[in-house]
Structure 1
Amino acid sequence: MYHKSLKNKEKIFAVAPMMDWTDRHCRFFHRQLTRRALLYTEMVVADAVIHGEREKLLGFDAVEHPVALQIGGSEPAKLARAAAIGADFGYDEINLNVGCPSDRVQSGTFGACLMKTPDLVGACVAAMKERVKVPVTVKSRIGVDDQDPEEALDRLAEAVFAAGADALWVHARKAWLAGLSPRENREIPPLDYGRVYRLKEKYPNKFIGINGGIQSLDEVEAHLLRLDGAMMGRAAYHTPALLADVDQRLFGEKRRRADPAAVVEAMAAYAQRHIAAGGRLSHITRHMVGLFHGQPGARRFRQILSTRATRPGAGADVLRDALAAVGLPEREAVA
């Protein structure tokens, strides 16, 4: 069974894994806004998990649960070893990246390239499942280059589900491995939500989640009428306040909406700990500049964080000053 929520026949809402964005500081921030969203790490290459500085690459705060580790790679044995390391670190899920189209990923013959070798993806999933007890999932595209999305996605789904994958998350676009940059691959190939819906019709008893171009919780709710999960990426990152409505709106929780002043105070306390351990304030505040997007004072909040937080010796007082510029009272940190 994929995640505890499915035992109650609940859907899953997730914040997508995003390179250079969804680091541990971003995830801690997002968790102040929603307790129910599933959070993902950036993609970490299996070799880095095995041979790199594990605490730096994999460390996270307990408050981030439920949190999933996304791994990149194409060698079953290495992926199995990396998955075991991730599970030992306490991650709630291990996700295999079969969708990233960056040049660096292509040179390593993994990411979206793996759409061309579904049997290999199945072997990777099987090896990971053999090593860990937590869910093993896959995140893919609907196809790459000149592939027929009907055939390509069906073949991938057949291979990963036969191998025991607990879920398949589908970014509802093709990836063009030649001719488009990673950014263009997020915007130019047309979205095809219908293709993901058809996959769910073929696998009614398997978890199928959707990703790509989702801008609002209205859209999330529409997708969840037909699918098991919906994943929001850049919209959640750039306008994080929308995450504050997730728990009530999608999961029916009666807990009041996260107060933005309390969120800032929680992040100030977190920043103090990070700085005391040798970190920089900007590591945290770079993820927070959009917190008051569309509200009075948002521009000043963004300006203060973008300028003062990058200065040597910047402390948590910068966050409190930015909050004061918005005109909201400071509150006690959220629980």
Structure 2
Amino acid sequence: MLKIIIQESEIGAGTRGSSLGPDAVILAGAKQSPNFFEGRTWEVLENRNDHLLIPTDTKRAIRIKPMLEVWEKHAQSIRKNIIDGHLPVLLSADHASAGATIAGIKMANPDKRIGVVWIDAHADLHSPFTSPSGNIHGMPLACSIADDNNDFGRELPSDATIMAWDKMKTLGKISPKIAPSDIRFVAVRDTEMEENHLIEKHAIQNYTVSAARRMSMSSVASEILNGLQTCDLIYVSFDVDSMDPDVVSYGTGTPVKDGLTPSEASELINALLLDPKLCCFEMVEVNPLLDNKCNTMGETAYEIFASAIETIESK
């Protein structure tokens, strides 16, 4: 049975407001379709957003110690829900949560191979050794593949940072959680040199916006799923910054021009969610405090989220 899980942790982001994203989506739903969420099973996870008011002493991975706490509880929730027979559908604040989601999936299925479809403007392949910002929402995939990319390190993190990072990588006593060959990027278009090195090193395929349009979204989904057919499970992670901010709004932490349209994103997601191996879907990075068009991003995200839920329930 599908279960909606809310994660409001925004301590991985460099801007404030993504913790309000899940409510922005839910309230948009209350306005557009008042009965949509009625009777659905929910869970709200713990966050440590209180640490936003406390100075951090880990500049290479900002607030990594409370983030580890968040990840441990988040991963255990995903693990338990999957074991209990639920299909988690997450509304999360910043994209750091994806690292814990992947960990939870792997903890529930230690012997299974997880394919990850990453629909995002960013690769999120930094580590505390390489990150230009220190924001952990740019690190979940590097953590999941356990590649620190030390050859491209900018600065040695503190001992406390390295200790917490190693615990995040080995969450559930499994590391790595996924193989780089089992990642597919869609709409990634804003990366740094360090991430480009890992993308080339591991030959991670990226379907650019222009390439996806030439192929059609249904063809992209079909090719991705065919390429991941040796995986046992599929996790789809959707960052709303994969969409074009000039078409939707700037209501996300790190908007990047020339992205997908909402209809393209929804078509792609729904085609992926029909796969019988789907084990989890997550939507992240709606930020109503940054929205230049009231709650347009929340409203757009709700339409995509509701369509995704209906697609999953139709199977």
Please classify the TM superposition score into its range, dividing by the shorter chain length. Answer: 0.3 to 0.5
In the superposition, the TM-score normalised over structure 1's length comes to 0.31
Compare CA radii of gyration and give the structure with the larger one: 1
Q: TM-score, normalised by structure 2?
A: 0.32
